[in-house]
Structure 1
Amino acid sequence: MKKRFLVLYIVSLGCCVAGLLLLSLGGWIRIKAVVAGYLLSRSWEMSLESGRPVKPWPWADTWPVGRLRTADGKIDLVILEGDSGEVLAFGPGHVSGSDRVAGSGHCVLAGHRDTSFSFLQHLKKNDVLLLRGLNGPVKYYSVQSFLVKRSNELYFDSEADNRLTLITCYPFSAVVPGGNLRYLVFAEGIPSGAVL
């Protein structure tokens, strides 16, 4: 009888230790996300002050190049340079080869559907997005259309003027990450005076 209680005690203790380890790992990930968010915002402010990109931490392989906000201010994201998985883990990224953030051409941004770009599923036609690059004023964009395409069918018109395209994985509620479908939001630049 004592042996059975000892085994039960050891198994219970092992389960408790495993549970505590899993909880601490989950907590560590949340702490890293909060600290990274603070460092990215600080890096963006320092970049604005200096007029040149400032890395959020010394070993970072990316840097802030812009800020994306919704008109109601509920979404406020620092945009990073690049669109690799490492970059997108910290926020939306500027797709290489597209025009600079808040430039006069076609800017393309990518983000994860379950973190930074989860709000895309709630956008509606004519919603207004505010985009600011390192140099220059805030530009306003009006959401015009939405599209779902296969990832191997994506392309962007590098000759288009005053456009913003946002890309994320689709469907938003997918259990398994990745997949070959992408959700695209197309927006066109509007004069700041046209915003109500």
Structure 2
Amino acid sequence: MPRLLSPLVLSLIGLILFGDGAFIHAKAWLAQVLLERAFDQSVATGRMVKPWSWADTWPVARVEVKRIGASTIVLEGASGQALAFGPGHIHQTVDAGERGIAVYAGHRDTHFRFVRNVAIGDVIDVTRADGKHFRYRADSSAVVRFDASGIDPTARDVELVLTTCWPFDAVTSGPERYVLHATLIGTGE
């Protein structure tokens, strides 16, 4: 009897763990569908639309790098809850397309995984939730300490920064951040 019970218990535990993992992936997929829908509704209606009724954030922009086929929805704020679903717009920074530096931060292993493949010279398209479109060109990158980003809050040009943890393949978090800087090259569409 004990020999039969051990495999059954282990199988049940394995099934529960598999189900839990599948649920997390299904929830992440559904969240992305809801974020895309909320962003599209925001653009269409001109007002903020939450992706689900209890959300504490909402889509503010879509970032695309067409050369590498990357696209992600940026959320308002960079709280842990927001960053679980997508990159966040840092509150103390301007909106994309405004004079100053718009800063979007995201996790290196999920929604900002593509940042490692953005090359200097790549075009980064940003569409805000109000439908305005801005085109930036990646012009520099740096690895910095989290408390010494080098981002100038008094910048007078129209700039964009995408930032994530460094190194890209690390398993745990560390004190360094990868900062990709881009400058506005066009508007419209």
TM over 0.5: yes
Partner of 2:160: 164
Q: Is the 8 A contact 2:43 2:131 kept in 1?
A: no
Aligned partner of residue 20 in structure 2, secondary structure: helix
Aligned partner of residue 97 in structure 1, secondary structure: coil
Aligned to 1:9, which of 4, 8, 20?
4
Identity of aligned pairs, percent? 39
Structure number with higher relative contact order (C-alpha < 8 Å, ≥ 6 residues apart): 2
- 1:57-136 alignment to 2 at 5 Å? 57-72=52-67, 74-136=69-131
Counterparts of 2:59 and 2:119, CA distance in 1? 27
Q: Is the 8 A contact 1:93 1:109 kept in 2?
A: yes
2:186 maps to 1:191: yes
Which runs of 4 or more aligned residues in structure 1 lie more than 4 Å from their structure 2 counterparts after TM superposition?
A: none
Q: Is the 8 A contact 2:166 2:176 kept in 1?
A: yes
2:135 maps to 1:140: yes
Moved more, 68-77 or 51-60: 68-77
Q: Is the 8 A contact 2:68 2:117 kept in 1?
A: no
Counterparts of 2:39 and 2:150, CA distance in 1? 29
Counterparts of 1:40 and 1:142, CA distance in 2? 26
The CA RMSD over aligned residues, in Å, is: 1.5
Deviation at 1:155, TM superposition (A): 5.0
Q: Is the 8 A contact 2:161 2:180 kept in 1?
A: yes
Counterparts of 1:59 and 1:191, CA distance in 2? 36
Aligned partner of residue 146 in structure 1, secondary structure: strand
Partner of 1:3: none
Q: Is the 8 A contact 2:34 2:51 kept in 1?
A: yes
Deviation at 1:182, TM superposition (A): 0.5
Counterparts of 1:163 and 1:101, CA distance in 2? 8
> Structure 1's 81 and 10: CA in aligned 2 closer, same or farther, altered over 3 A?
same
Q: Is the 8 A contact 1:99 1:158 kept in 2?
A: no
Deviations 1:100-142 (A, max 9, x none): 1333331000000000111111111101100011235311111
Unaligned ranges ≥5, structure 1? 1-5
Letter in 2 for 1:124: A
TM-score by length of 2: 0.94
